[in-house]
Chains A and B, each alone.
Chain A
Amino acid sequence: MNEKLEPALRLKGIVKTFPGVRALDGVDFEVMPGEVHALLGENGAGKSTLMKVLAGMYQPDEGQIIIAGQPVRMTTPIEAKAQGVVLIHQELSLVPEMSAAENIYLGELPLKSFGRVDWTTLYERSNAILERLNCNFRGEVTVVNLSIANQQMVEIARALTVDARVVVFDEPTASLTDAEKVVLFEIINDLKARGVGIVYISHRMDEIFTLSDRITVLRDGSYRGTLTTADTNEDEVTRLMIGRSLDLSRDTATPTLGETVLEVRNLTCAPLYRDISFSVRAGEVVGFYGLVGAGRTEIAETLFGLRSADSGEILIDGEKVQIGSPPDAIALGISLVPENRKEQGLVLSMNCRDNMTLPQVQNLASGPFVSSSAENEIFDKYREKLEIKTPSWRQTVRVLSGGNQQKIVIGKWLSMQPRVLIVDEPTRGIDVGSKSEIHALLRALAAQGYAVIVISSEMPEVLRVSDRIVAMYNGRIMREFTADLVTEDSLVQAISGIKATEVA
């Protein structure tokens, strides 16, 4: 690449510690102008922390930040932005009650005399940016009314208000649809063409390999090396990242299927979904594939007693059941790993262990007291099984890395030993190593006789874990496939609403 050019930004020997955690241990990193530099590493490797140091949110204990040849010290994100460094967060950090435009220009609203906000200019400028991003909403809308994906777009729009030198994308695609991803990639390429240095963090190898020029790998807070994307492959990167190769094969052992555990007949909850019928047998993994908004999450919520259907029946072990609330569902042996870990999955202010044992805390009591040892046993078991990285069970979940938070939620529901396990986007934000382990775990659970439902928007995931795949479009089941008969094309057709025709 541009070997002779000055890097847009350089980090030298960055060290950052938190109580009990050495999050960064002498990390070097640089971005050239016009380069997409991918940052990879397992959950908790320190990627987000490094970027927060870069964006002035954390002060490094040691090390230097060099921008355009000058060492700088940045103590706030606003200062960093003034230096041309913009961070787009892994976790959305918008003010929900404000308009999109205000969020885009937060902290730097255009002003008229006497400090009054110049609304005309504000909306003009933000609408221009939103247009550039091909967004179908305007700056005047309030952020709460936007979908998660659109909120993500607002977050991205923030980066475009200044002449950025470096823009950091921390797992930007975790909640985007494929169409929105395409737009995002266009934006990135556009920025790149204008000489902006891009840092791109993601756990999706395909994205990394389409987008990036170079790849830097972190492991346990230390620098593992930088590779040129064109000269490497997924396997090499993975080995650098997790110290071994991945087994991506699908276990082909034919499952021994038991009785039908869950059956759903003509379930309807207009306008979210209509006429849903399917069944899951013990020992089987059924994948629900479809676009975001196809109604899959809503079906899961109905099965878990969070929503009531207008009509239709739910049967467990052939018996009709009423599921009026989550405790009903839990009593019937249904578990739901929800889609949104921060809002639905975790109590961020609580520690890791207490979060994990929350649904069963009543049953862990010996006498009137919660048994600490029983709780620790559960936590230790799943911490090991899911390789959750945390200095101790006492750590508040809030400070865990995104992927480790997700693992706590999964552990929480696995530890309930359910008969029917529903997982909604289980590997969002999870690193490749743990991802394949979670897939293996889901298969293993099925093999032990659980009935498993996997909702996912990632085709490789659905293909890999499912015995049967239910394709949904717009609140309806379009087709059902068995694992050996499914093809990617027919899946794509089904979820875009194209009816299956015998001759096609």
Chain B
Amino acid sequence: MLLNRLKAGGPAIAKQGILVAFILFMIVFSFMSDRFLTPDNIMSVFRQSAIIGVMALGVTIVVIGGNLDLSVGSMLSFATVLVVDLHDKVGPELAIPIMVLATLCLGAINGFLIGILRLNSLIVTLGMLSAIQGLVLIYSGGQNVDIVDQRGTWFAIFGRGSVLGIAAPIIIFGLLAILFHVIMTTTPFGRKVYAVGGNPTASVFSGIPRSRIVFTTYLISALCVAVAAIILGSRVMGSQNNVGQGYELQVLAAVILGGTSLLGGAGSILKTVLGVLMLAFIQNGLILMGQPYYTQWLVTWVVIIVAVWLDVAAKRGRLFSPIA
């Protein structure tokens, strides 16, 4: 019966449950704080969302391929600590490629275990979450790292620079989002990711190299983490050895808000961007309303539940349904 989930007719807008929730949300918040919808504030929300956003792009692809990636949080700690620490030792022009390679290696481990050995992605990446955190602590000896000469390095452009008044993180996030959107919707690779996530068996029967596709999705996810680490390291010019802690959940929340199915095979990069922005606006709105930082966790959860509910309700054509 699950399979017969009927898509009811009705106005197309009703099917965009997430979008509706997002708009409602913006309206409510703009009444509560008049600073909320100012260009300055909007820009700053965009900028702050870039790091989670970039990571969410990679995770979206992993999830569409039918798997999970919970290791991105500690992978971000790893990558940021590495790039910041190496910056002063070998210079940014070497620090960046070394860090990217190292991060890709972590992604390759995920990809090997999940794609080639077919282990469960929840277990593998949950294990990686703690293993990588351990790796970071070993590497840094428990110390936080920072860049001494913060003014004189071109490394600053990624987090602090801007082009035509638009902050660099926004530009990076935007360009990557467009790139991945195009890849997922128009290239053979994208099609194969959807197929593998939608029905792995049928994909194999269609001659699609399932293992290789899954492996690649984890490489992409790691690459996104590396990019996020560059933005983060460049903005903060230093790093605590657990900066990325908790990011995996925020990233996953954004992906779910964007309506990507955790069962795989369905989802969209652009909707993930929407999910990321929505999450960022909620957190920003709460801060503007003078709420303490931690209420955002509670509110975020409520919003996710409501959004997911609206989304399935729109697909079912009614709010409650005895059959899925």
Contacts and interface: CB of A to CB of B under 8 A. Distances in A.
Interface in B168-223: 186-188, 191-192, 194-195, 198-199, 201-209
Q: Among B194, B202, B207, which residue has the most Cβ atoms of chain A within 10 A?
A: B207
Contacts of B81: none
B9 interface: yes
Contacts of B191: 354, 358, 361, 370
Contact of B7 (A19, A325, A370): A19
B214 to A, nearest CB: 15
Nearest to B10: A19
Interface string B106-128: 00000000000000000000000
A303 interface: no
Interface string B225-247: 00000000000000000000000
Interface in A335-371: 336, 338, 343-350, 354, 358-359, 361-362, 364-365, 368-370
B66 to A, nearest CB: 11
A345 B205 contact: yes
Contact of B323 (A77, A343, A347, A398): A77
B199 A329 contact: no
B255 interface: no
B195 A347 contact: yes
A327 to B, nearest CB: 5
Contacts of A369: 186-187
Nearest to B322: A76
Contacts of B198: 347-350
A23 to B, nearest CB: 11
A349 B266 contact: yes
Secondary structure at the A interface, as helix, strand, loop or mixed, is mixed
B interface, size bucket: 20 to 34
B4 interface: yes
A348 B205 contact: no
Contact of A93 (B1, B199, B265): B1
Contacts of A361: 188, 191-192
A57 B206 contact: no
Contacts of B201: 343-344
Nearest to B5: A398
Contacts of B186: 368-370
B3 interface: yes
B6 interface: yes
A347 B264 CA distance: 11
Contacts of B194: 347, 349-350, 354
Given A348-B199, A358-B195, A399 B204 contact: no
Nearest to A350: B198
A181 to B, nearest CB: 25
Nearest to B263: A349
A58 B322 CA distance: 12
Nearest to B261: A349
Contact of B205 (A17, A336, A398): A336
Contacts of A338: 205
A466 to B, nearest CB: 24
What are the 4 tightest A-B residue pairs by CB atom distance, in nearest-first order? A347-B198, A326-B207, A349-B198, A347-B199
Interface of B: 1, 3-4, 6-7, 9, 186-188, 191-192, 194-195, 198-199, 201-209, 265-266, 322-323
Given A18-B6, A52-B4, A350-B195, 10 more contacts: A19-B7, A304-B205, A338-B205, A345-B202, A345-B205, A347-B195, A347-B198, A347-B265, A350-B194, A370-B188
